[in-house]
Amino acid sequence: MYIHLGQVDLKTGEQMALGCVRCPDPSWSAQVLPLLGHKSRESREHFEQAFAGPLDQLDTRFYIGTIGGIAVTNVMIVGALRRWGGVAILGHVYTRPEHRQKGAYNALMAAQMEHIRQDGYRLITLSTGFETHPYWIYHRYGFRSIDGTSGKMKWLADERAEADYLAPGPTTVRPMRWDDWAPLEALAFQPVRPDEELPRSVLFGLKGQGGVEGPFQAVRRRIRRREAIQAVVLETAHGATVGWAALQPDPFAFGDARQLDLYVHAGFEPDAPKLLAALDLDAAARVRAYSAPPDGYRAASLREAGFTRTAELPDWLARGDERLPLRVYTRAG
């Protein structure tokens, strides 16, 4: 579905139409996909699937600027609109080389930010180069670096948005879906707590604070190929994704072995056992999990689920200037 958002005059005097293509809409794929051909294989697969049909409850939008009916600039938003509001990722910004330096993308982003706010989005994340030209464009529209030193940025519709989103409350466990993409990114962006058990995620390759945007697409691709992956999330009553657990083949072990991943945001740690209970831990002869001191909810949940600590690898992880050992937990199926 195409939504017309207005028209602007560029610096050259050319008129550019502003619009939003909400997927699925196969009729627009031929216009938009050429702007995205340089992206990764996983990203291209997402684009093609999104244009062709629904991906769970994922909201995929391509905001585009067209001149003479031809798309010349683009930005993608993927998000989840739930009871609390919306969480999204902004990405894949591209302007055709011959149309750069005309103010095309700046005009498109102004329209996109206004439209997405009107639709109920309250938290948006993105990744770019720190203090690059794009960084300052995003900064102009209210995005801020999550740590003051990186190009991982977030935008909040109001000062209470993130606190409201992560507010404590009852939770349920369900299978991980396409529409968990942006909520998981927002969760991965959270600062590392002083007592947090690292690494944050083996599944997504997170030693600490970071992003899951690319790794999430890779996981979805593996699930689509019917690989032996179980993945579940912890969701609050108002629709916030506040934890995950996954079981996948262990690339570091021989034979029938699986690797367990578990992360829960502070305030929801008592619910971690619910995530483990939703996985079939008996699906393999051995299951391994990894964690670093200090022991907390993860170590306690693993022991409760029948894991024992079988090894400790010294100086494996860093927390500031401190070097931490990596502890290996094993459970026989």
Q: Cα torsion for 36, 37, 38, 39, to the nearest 10°?
A: 60
Q: Give the span between the Cα atoms of 278 and 137, in whole angstroms.
A: 43
Element at 274 (helix H, strand E): helix 272-277
Residue 141: per-residue pLDDT = 96
Sign for the CA dihedral angle at 305, 307, 308, 309 comes to: negative
Residue 261: per-residue pLDDT = 97
- CA dist list (Å): 50 to 70, 80, 184: 21, 14, 19
User: Which residues in the chain land under pLDDT 70?
Assistant: 37
Tokens 């591209």 sit on residue: 94
- CA dist list (Å): 280 to 145, 202, 258, 260: 39, 18, 11, 11
Helix, coil or strand: residue 127: strand
Helix, coil or strand: residue 320: coil
Q: Give the span between the Cα atoms of 262 and 231, in whole angstroms.
A: 10
The values of phi and psi at residue 167, to 5°, are -60, 140
Helix, coil or strand: residue 176: coil
Residue 37: per-residue pLDDT = 65
- CA dist list (Å): 112 to 84, 158, 200, 289: 21, 17, 32, 42
pLDDT by residue (tens digit) across 123-161?
A: 999 999 999 999 999 999 999 999 999 999 999 999 999
Eight-class DSSP state of 202: T
Q: Give the span between the Cα atoms of 273 and 277, in whole angstroms.
A: 6
**Sheet architecture: strand order including 70-81:** 2-9, 15-22, 59-67, 70-81, 86-95, 121-127, 152-156, 144-145
Q: What angle do CA 56, 209, 241 make, to 5 degrees?
A: 30
- CA dist list (Å): 272 to 83, 173, 245, 264: 23, 10, 9, 6
Residue 40: per-residue pLDDT = 79
Residue 87: per-residue pLDDT = 97
Eight-class DSSP state of 189: T
